[in-house]
Amino acid sequence: MELFIDTAEIEEIKSLNITGLIDGVTTNPSLIAQSGRNIIETIAEICSEVSGPVSAEVTATDFDTMIKEGKKLSAIAKNVAIKVPLTFDGLRACKAFSDDGIMVNVTLCFSAAQALLAAKAGATFISPFIGRLDDIGADGINLISEITEIYEIYGFDTKVLAASIRSVQDIVDVAKLGADVATIPPKFLKAMYNHPLTDKGLSDFLADWKKTGQSIL
């Protein structure tokens, strides 16, 4: 499973990208606003740092303006994926971009029926928001299961990109269900490699090694 980082903070992306574990980046208008930077400059800098897909979201809600914004964002770099909302006009825009060979991430998906339409529209990625479903008492993890099952049955190429991740366990759960990608806040990537028993084991090993008085170098 690929791991995307969900942030628009370039320094944070740089600090994590050196691990070689980052496969892409997702952004949205809220994350761009939090960064306090210009959207075009921010996306360009992220694309120069990360070789994988970088999702840049349109802010328009009508088809014509989505196309104009999407073309401007797509011109920034070859690895830009245009992010459109799962609305009627968003699906129209997805089909138009896809037909032009442009990567598209269809976002704000909350049902398998929506995901089916996005795949038929040629989406590169579909972004089901599992955490937001859990917030209203629905089952976000089950949605991933439904979408992956439908996509496998019909052979859709659209990648399932699990979004609105709220815990490390969410990442494990969507991986077990066959999600192609999980986009996660930076803090969860760091949490994935932390475990108290790892820390304790390392401390014990180092203490034993120190007693030998040896050095490998």
Active-site residues: which are they? 83
Strand partners, 182: 3, 162
By C-alpha distance, which of 54, 161, 169 is closest to 109?
Answer: 161
Rounded to whole angstroms, how far apart are CA atoms 163 and 207? 41
DSSP 8-state assignment for residue 75:
T
Rounded to whole angstroms, how far apart are CA atoms 214 and 11? 38
Q: Residue 87 in contact with residue 114, Cβ under 8 Å? A: no
What H or E segment, with its residue span, contains residue 73? helix 63-74
126-141 core/surface letters (b: 16 or more CB in 10 A; e: else): bbbbbeebbeeeeebb
